[in-house]
């Protein structure tokens, strides 16, 4: 009848070293340039241990000594920074008519960001795998020319992705029960790095958590602003996916039983009343046409067109209801609006915040702020790369070559 | 710009030992009776280390040897079980007109469960502190007679409790900005154990997670079924409170803009349309009267009264909408209905499950089941004791006396 709430593994001495390597790596990530003495002082590890760990990280080319020294009392200290020049982490986002690829180095600096057209819902899963594999091969080849080892690849997909990486359903892509990770690894012919698949909203949340304007916020919810709306939920510093990995489906929470019909067949879903489709004058066609329409909406709003301003305020109020659900249930520090919400944020945000505060039982919305993403269109792909860096930071270090 | 997603402390050798003591303690909790060899085989720790750790746990009287031995090939092994006879963990729940106290031993066996009347909303915070202190003193005194050391005390309160344990608002108790933990520690005159304060729904969820029919489920949401409805959210094995600790306020999520007025002044809140008040024929008076009314409702339902069955199905459908919000957003394995929902569960559950499945975008509700709590009226108090055991299990062991 009694079970434990957590089940950490025992810490044997090999684990101690791996844990401490990760601790030192993260310290350098956050505090570079820094000296071995700084690391010892802040982590509580003794100096001999720190020297040994740093030597190991230098061997792996994760950390390097700079020419710089810091003059302290006593002899000058050699300063350390992240190296990572021999590494790259790759993230890919698959969407209806494009695929985006991003590569970053160990420090998170962007090495490339590519966008290519994609077969989309008319193509088969096989075609999709081939298209993704093609762009990944080109990224890997580019990285090889820079003599970088690929640390891993994460592919983001708009849909329900199980905890095992299987795509259960991606409605806009027409996929069902697709083993994308397995098929992709096969198409890449055993590439020598891990291939993972993840929900796109989860990846965008990871990108915000590592690279965005709210980086490091422990409790953060990202809302994708596409025709569909999904949430990436970070609580206590980690993505929370739920039991099967299907969490974050905020788009089909009913906000208004009398609201517009949703693509899912229900009525008044958040997606139907507060998704970007509710802003468009026409039934959405291709994403390219959506962008053109939204440019026009933003132009009218800037010009003070009353009908447009009223529409954006109404969509903002509906979205605020959705944010209130999140604020009441999860009490995040911040909700970040992404995708097509970003260019409309100046007109949406006041209504969103006002409505959300009025509907949250904790005073001042429980401290929850609402902001627009600053990461741009490749947030999910960038999050794929962030997920690879997360696994390095938690101790899965590349082997010494 | 770059920050890390997690910030574990470095593992020095004292930490290794504390971690391993906790690992062995949890192993014995889950697998007793078991031998030192079993522990070594399952944890990967070497036998000498296990012997040393077990000796330490025996010194602290957390583990003891039984007279039993197990005949294996080779010499017989002495079997170990949890001891804990010298310890007690205390949980208290404060509610509108009663206070409940529970004490358990290290193995989670209930030592006592008391319910006392309470000054309630008409009394001052000072009176409330005095009343809670009085029952706690009596529990501590009873434990002292049994020669048990108190490991800690957690008090559950129906309201917004900050991460620092301050009660921001407990509307039904009339409390605001109450430092209950501090005041209680003072009233108990530095009792020599930690005093913590926590939201009652969070504690009930912890009780379910450790002692309930769904114990050990990693993703579990508990819904209190009182006049107010709150949620305790466990994701990936831990309570998630959000940034300020105000998460779980599902009661004021709007399910129906045209629905009944809520005590909070808004309309169509879950609490108003799916709280236990929606089942009562009269405006709720005292909790004792609520119990009498609900007995009558259950009697009518058992007798097949059509109006009562219709009402319960309607409340079940509304509650199912709330469960769908949780299932879409968090994808838990199970939602547990507590409090007054329990006696009405036979009639509520079919409608709840049906509605929740129909409104969840993942097939079969994402695998989320809905069940009634089996823990009884003292779930939150029991959860207070569970929270104390959680901190022992995560390595805060009592000192050798």
Chain B residues whose CB is inside 8 A of the A366 CB are 242-244, 246
Answer whether residue B5 is part of any domain.
no
- Residues B221, B323, single domain; the answer is yes
Q: Which of the residues A10, A29, A385 would you substitute to probe the B interface, choosing the one with the greatest number of B C-beta atoms within 10 Å?
A: A10
A297 has a pLDDT exceeding 60: yes
Chain A residues whose CB is inside 8 A of the B244 CB are 331, 362, 366-367
A23-34 pLDDT, tens digit each: 999 999 989 899
Candidate ranges A159-163, A277-281, B70-74; pick with highest mean pLDDT: A159-163
Answer whether residue B256 is part of any domain.
yes
Please judge whether B30 and A4 are an interchain contact, meaning their C-beta atoms are less than 8 angstroms apart.
Answer: yes
Q: What is the mean pLDDT of chain B?
A: 90
Of A6, A330, A366, the CB nearest to B237: A6
- CB within 8 Å of B346: residues ≥ 6 apart: B301
Answer whether residue B209 is part of any domain.
no
B11: distance to nearest CA of chain A, Å?
Answer: 6
- Residues B78, B92, single domain; the answer is no
Q: Which of the two residues, A290 and B112, has the higher pLDDT score? A: B112
Range of the domain at A286: 215-374
CA angle A381, A386, A389 (to 5 degrees): 140
A299: distance to nearest CA of chain B, Å?
Answer: 32
B399 has a pLDDT exceeding 80: no
B322: distance to nearest CA of chain A, Å?
Answer: 9
Chain A residues whose CB is inside 8 A of the B236 CB are 238, 240
- Residues A67, A145, single domain; the answer is no
Nearest of A356, A90, A104 to residue A221 by alpha carbon:
A356
Chain A residues whose CB is inside 8 A of the B394 CB are 5-6
Show which of A58, A82, A106 is a domain's final residue.
A82
- Residues B339, B228, single domain; the answer is yes
B108: distance to nearest CA of chain A, Å?
Answer: 7
- Residues A186, A68, single domain; the answer is no
Indicate which CATH number applies to the domain containing B47.
1.10.10.10
Q: Which DSSP string do the residues of B49-78 spell out, in sequence order?
A: HHHHHHHHHHHTTSEEEEEEEE--SSSPEE
Residue of chain A with shortest Cα separation from B159:
A362
* Residue A257 CB neighbour total at 10 angstroms: 15
Q: What does the alpha-carbon distance between residue A190 and residue A33 come to, in Å, rounded to a whole number?
A: 37
Q: Which of the two residues, B218 and B17, has the higher pLDDT score? A: B218
Q: Model confidence at B3, in pLDDT bands (50, 70, 90)? A: very low
Residue with tokens 């017989």: B76
Query: Once rounded to an integer, what is the mean pLDDT over residues A263-271?
Result: 92
The pLDDT, as a whole number, for residue A4 is 33
B200-209 pLDDT, tens digit each: 999 999 999 9
The pLDDT, as a whole number, for residue A204 is 98
User: Tokens standing for A122?
Assistant: 């008319």
Query: Once rounded to an integer, what is the mean pLDDT over residues B269-290?
Result: 84
- Residues B131, B99, single domain; the answer is yes
The pLDDT, as a whole number, for residue B364 is 93
Total domains in the fold of chain A: 3
- Residues A74, A102, single domain; the answer is no
A304: distance to nearest CA of chain B, Å?
Answer: 30
Q: Model confidence at B123, in pLDDT bands (50, 70, 90)? A: low
- Residues B122, B199, single domain; the answer is yes
Please judge whether B252 and A160 are an interchain contact, meaning their C-beta atoms are less than 8 angstroms apart.
Answer: no
Chain A residues whose CB is inside 8 A of the B332 CB are 242-243
Compute CA distances B28 → B55, B70, B74, B106, whole Å. Answer: 13, 15, 22, 12
Of B231, B244, B390, the CB nearest to A366: B244
By percentage, how much of chain B surpasses pLDDT 90?
Answer: 72
B7 has a pLDDT exceeding 60: no
Indicate which CATH number applies to the domain containing B326.
3.30.420.40
B133-186 pLDDT, tens digit each: 999 999 999 999 999 999 999 999 999 999 888 999 988 888 899 999 999 999
- Residues A101, A175, single domain; the answer is yes
Chain B residues whose CB is inside 8 A of the A275 CB are none
Strands A334-337 and A220-223: parallel
- Residues A76, A52, single domain; the answer is yes
The pLDDT, as a whole number, for residue B95 is 87
Q: What does the alpha-carbon distance between residue B107 and residue B30 come to, in Å, rounded to a whole number?
A: 10
- Residues B148, B43, single domain; the answer is no
Q: Model confidence at B4, in pLDDT bands (50, 70, 90)? A: very low
Compute CA distances B41 → A149, B62, B215, whole Å. Answer: 37, 21, 25
B103: exposed, middle or buried (Cβ count in 10 Å: 0-12, 13-18, 19+): buried
Of B11, B169, B360, the CB nearest to A16: B11
Q: Model confidence at A120, in pLDDT bands (50, 70, 90)? A: low
Report the length, in residues, of chain B. 401
Please judge whether A238 and B6 are an interchain contact, meaning their C-beta atoms are less than 8 angstroms apart.
Answer: yes
- Residues B368, B385, single domain; the answer is no
B109 has a pLDDT exceeding 60: yes
């Amino acid at each position: 009848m009694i079970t434990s709430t957590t089940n950490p593994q025992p810490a044997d001495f090999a684990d101690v070293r791996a844990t401490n390597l990760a601790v030192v790596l993260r310290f350098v990530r956050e505090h570079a340039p820094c000296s071995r003495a700084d690391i010892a002082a802040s982590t509580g590890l003794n100096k001999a241990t720190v020297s040994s760990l740093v030597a190991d990280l230098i061997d792996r080319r994760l950390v390097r000594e700079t020419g710089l020294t810091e003059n302290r009392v006593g002899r000058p200290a050699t300063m350390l920074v992240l190296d990572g020049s021999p590494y790259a982490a790759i993230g890919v986002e698959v969407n209806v008519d494009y695929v985006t690829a991003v590569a970053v180095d160990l420090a998170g600096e962007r090495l490339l960001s590519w966008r290519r057209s994609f077969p989309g819902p008319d193509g088969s899963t096989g075609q999709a795998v081939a298209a993704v594999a093609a762009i990944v091969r080109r990224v890997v080849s580019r990285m090889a020319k820079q003599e970088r080892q690929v640390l891993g690849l994460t592919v983001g997909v708009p849909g329900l992705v199980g905890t095992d990486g299987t795509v259960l359903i991606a409605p806009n892509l027409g996929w069902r029960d697709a083993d994308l990770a397995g098929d992709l690894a096969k198409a890449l012919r055993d590439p020598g790095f891990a291939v993972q698949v993840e929900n796109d909203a989860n990846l965008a949340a990871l990108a915000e958590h590592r690279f965005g304007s709210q980086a490091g916020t422990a409790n953060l919810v990202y809302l994708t602003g596409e025709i569909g709306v999904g949430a990436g939920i970070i609580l206590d510093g980690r993505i929370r996916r739920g039991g099967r990995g299907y969490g974050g489906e905020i788009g089909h929470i009913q906000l208004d039983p009398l609201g517009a019909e949703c693509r899912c067949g229900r009525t008044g879903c958040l997606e139907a009343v507060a998704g970007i489709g509710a802003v468009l004058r026409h039934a959405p066609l291709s994403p390219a046409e959506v962008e053109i329409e939204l440019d026009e909406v933003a132009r009218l709003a800037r010009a003070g067109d009353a009908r447009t301003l009223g529409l954006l305020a109404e969509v903002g109020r509906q979205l605020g209801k959705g944010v209130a659900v999140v604020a009441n249930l999860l009490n995040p520090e911040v909700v970040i609006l992404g995708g097509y919400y970003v260019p409309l944020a100046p007109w949406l945000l006041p209504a969103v915040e006002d409505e959300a505060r009025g509907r949250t039982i904790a005073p001042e919305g429980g401290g929850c702020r609402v902001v627009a993403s600053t990461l741009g269109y490749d947030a999910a792909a960038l999050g794929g790369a962030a997920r690879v860096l997360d696994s390095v930071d938690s101790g899965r270090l590349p082997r010494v070559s």
